[in-house]
Amino acid sequence: MQHKKPAEPTLEQSTMIEDAVILHQSGQLDTAEILYNKLLKFLPCNTTILTNLGTITLQKGNLQDGLITIEKSLQINPHQPNALNNKGNALQDLNRLDEALASYERAIAFKPEYAEAYCNRATTLQALNRPNEALTSYDHALILKPDYAEAYSNRGTTLQDLNRPDEALASCERAISINPDFAEAYFNRGNALKDLNRLDEAISSFEQAIFLKPDFAEAYSNLGNTLKDLNRLNEALASYEHAIILNPFYADAYYNRGIALQDLNLLDEALTCYDRAIVLDSNYAKAYSNRGTTLQDLNQLNEALANYEHAIILKPDYAEVYWNKSLLKLLMGEYLEGWQLYEWGWKSFARKPLRNFDEPLWLGNESLRNKTVLIYPEQGLGDYIQYIRYAVLVEQLGATIILEVPLALMALSSTLKGQFTLIECGKTLPDFDYQCPVMSLPLAFKTTVETIPVQLPYLYADEYKKQQWQVKLGKKTVTRIGLVWSGSSIHKNDQKRSLLLKQFETFLNFPLEFHCLQNQIREIDVKTLTEFPHIHQHQDDLLDFSDTAALVDAMDIIISVDTSVAHLAGAMGKQVFILLPYAPDYRWLLDRADSPWYPTAKLFRQAEMDNWEAVIIKISKILLTV
């Protein structure tokens, strides 16, 4: 079908078209639109008018009408690179990405030197999760237009997607050097700095983006994320709230605010935020996953599981939600499924990246007769203490064992009953045939609650150090109690698990001999220790876990929050009272006062959130009888 050749504009109409273009370029969209519509009555098939009018409609946010107008122009003349580029922009905004990509490629076919089309093509490829092709397209745009700030800035986001944050930062800084007032470049620069853990600089970059563009909701939200990483949670909340004021339909801001509220243990408010994010985006898998962790913290376990399952339906390759589900399944005692799901942690933030060994991972399938196996640590020291018991079982399969051991646990690990080669972390490893991280050993042995290996003790105090402590402590005249009331302040669950020493006050004046087993005392607890001078302190003598083990051995009872010392006492077969928060760590299971991992442990659980008083009273009643 041949289109009728458009009428040529008169001289006066040509002048009006030029005026409309100037108005359009100067940002006077409404005035330009009125003039274009007036011209369209006389020149209904003029492609310049149609294309520019469609572009204005797009700029004003009316994507469908703008697209219709541009397509009408392209029906008259399909060979318009500018119209094809703008059509691609509309399709990209409508999330019709494959169509957008085709439109940009047609624009480039008609105009190979079209830098803007290459840049827009790159953003579409990026949205299609094709970052390497996107990077090539940005690079082509920059060859054509070396001072193209937007291409440098967007190229930075692609380099971030490719986990190349240093290059991303350099690309964003190049954009800023070209255009020092480019808010989006400062925003992307902030993201790169955050990925590089240069958080204070990231904050400055986000703040500069906001200064240049005060209504920049995304910058406020990402500023909040950075403040949250610095544990400046109240400031983070304020930043998220500002983002939401600017854009009440900003699902990510509600989601991020929910995380900060969850970190502050304001769980009901966190749920409200996740609910709002899901209302705005029903496919928001991350919001469902975090809603699940919040419900799990509230001990609403079936509801938590339902949210994890829904997140998996929405995003079947979502590693973090499988990890969250694994912890819930383990908490519920469903070990076989839980250990399988636990391996998803390698693909998420939860477990450190799987070590890049040439030797294969052993998960219980291959024979180990006459083979050498490397067992290495991951996560915390308490985790290593809990699971290193499996090394004995691996040796019983006929294997020679190399244990890679954190420095603080080297001397203690030498007390394991087996012929193990111990290598300090970071030192050169000898040859081996298979490797297995310590946290994967329960999976390798298909551990259920009923088959947990509990041959206690499996770790021991050094005899010489035991004698040293006996001399230092002197003759025992009353029951000796070892105390651990707080763990590492940087632990992600520290707010839930750690107490103030003052909270032990109920029993601290009992006629017992109290010893502090912590080698770090928080400033807030120093004053309390001066009020209870009979509590013996040993921080300067606890250089590694073999020192702690010898002191633990001298105690009759250890009272500890959920820390590595609690695991040490359990592994040594000592009587240990472990204080657990309302939502316990997965390893302590549910609704039981004992632990199948440590038969000499007694578990004291919060019956309601943040109520340690009832727990202390229970322990006090027992201590009155010792």
Residues 174-229 pLDDT 10s: 999 999 999 999 999 999 999 999 999 999 999 999 999 999 999 999 999 999 99
Domain boundaries, the chain: 287-347, 372-451, 463-623
pLDDT of residue 1: 44
More confident residue, 246 or 31: 246
In order, the DSSP letters of 447-502 are --GGG----S--S---HHHHHHHHHHH-S--S-EEEEE----TTSTTHHHH---GG
Its pTM stands at: 0.85
Segment 476-491 shows an average pLDDT of 91
pLDDT-based confidence at residue 3 (cuts at 50, 70, 90): low
- Which two structure tokens, joined as six digits, stand for 429? 């490893």
pLDDT at 494 over 90: no
Instruction: Choose which CATH entry (3.10.129.10, 3.40.50.150, 3.40.50.1580, 3.40.50.2000) describes domain 463-623.
Output: 3.40.50.2000
Instruction: Choose which CATH entry (3.10.180.10, 1.25.40.10, 1.10.1530.10, 1.10.3720.10) describes domain 287-347.
Output: 1.25.40.10
Task: List the Cα angle 70/75/80 in 5-degree steps.
Answer: 65
Residue 91's SS3 state is helix
Q: pLDDT by residue (tens digit) across 267-277?
A: 999 999 999 99
pLDDT-based confidence at residue 137 (cuts at 50, 70, 90): very high
Q: Which residues does 82 contact at the CB level (< 8 Å), separation at least 6?
A: 51, 107
Q: Per residue in 85-119, is it b (16+ CB within 10 Å) or e — as a string? A: bbbbbbbbeeebbebbbbbbebbbebbeebbbbbb
Rounded Cα gap, residues 598 and 386, in angstroms: 9
More confident residue, 556 or 5: 556
User: In 3D, which of 295, 327, 290, 289 has the Cα closest to residue 309?
Assistant: 289
188 exposed, middle or buried (CB, 10 Å; 0-12, 13-18, 19+)? Answer: buried
The pLDDT mean for the chain works out to 93
Say if CB 566 and CB 382 are below 8 A apart.
yes
pLDDT of residue 403: 98
Q: pLDDT by residue (tens digit) across 32-75?
A: 777 667 766 766 777 777 777 777 777 777 677 777 777 777 87
Q: In what order do the strands lie in the sheet with 372-376?
A: 420-424, 400-405, 372-376, 434-437
Q: Which residues does 313 contact at the CB level (< 8 Å), separation at least 6?
A: none
- Dihedral, 71, 76, 81, 87 alpha carbons, nearest 10: 0
Segment 384-403 shows an average pLDDT of 97
pLDDT at 129 over 80: yes
pLDDT of residue 536: 96
Helices marked H in 474-612 — which ranges? 494-497, 505-508, 523-531, 545-553, 564-571
